[in-house]
């Protein structure tokens, strides 16, 4: 049996950078606006952490590709 966290992480991992970034912006907007219950705020925060990790992986991958391309030029 998979947990909701496992399912969400799998979904987050399949997102492209722009999709993850846009959803992360929305999560932050909702958290900053307030008016959510503690449980919902925690769920949003957890989702934001997952989305930030997706963005970080995309950016690290892009950095590695750029570094490799620059190394090939030398």
Domain boundaries, the chain: 4-73
The predicted structure's pLDDT at residue 12:
72
Question: Can you give the pTM of this predicted structure?
Answer: 0.76
Per-residue pLDDT band at 6 (split at 50, 70, 90)? very low
CA distance 22 to 27: 9
Q: Over the stretch 30-64, which tens digit does the pLDDT of each residue have?
A: 999 999 999 999 999 999 999 999 999 999 999 99
Could you tell me which residues come within 8 angstroms of residue 48 by beta carbon, excluding any fewer than 6 positions away?
A: 24, 27, 28, 31
- Cα distance between residue 25 and residue 48, in whole Å: 9
Place of tokens 């991958």: 61
- With a CB cutoff of 8 Å and minimum separation 6, the contacts of 58 are 16, 17, 20
């Amino acid at each position: 049996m998979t947990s909701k966290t496992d399912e969400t992480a799998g979904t987050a991992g399949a997102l492209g950078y722009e999709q993850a970034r846009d959803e992360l912006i929305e999560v932050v907007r909702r958290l900053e606006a307030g008016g959510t219950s503690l449980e919902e705020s925690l769920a949003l925060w957890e989702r934001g952490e997952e989305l930030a990790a997706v963005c970080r992986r995309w950016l690290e991958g892009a950095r590695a590709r750029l570094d490799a391309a620059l190394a090939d030029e030398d």
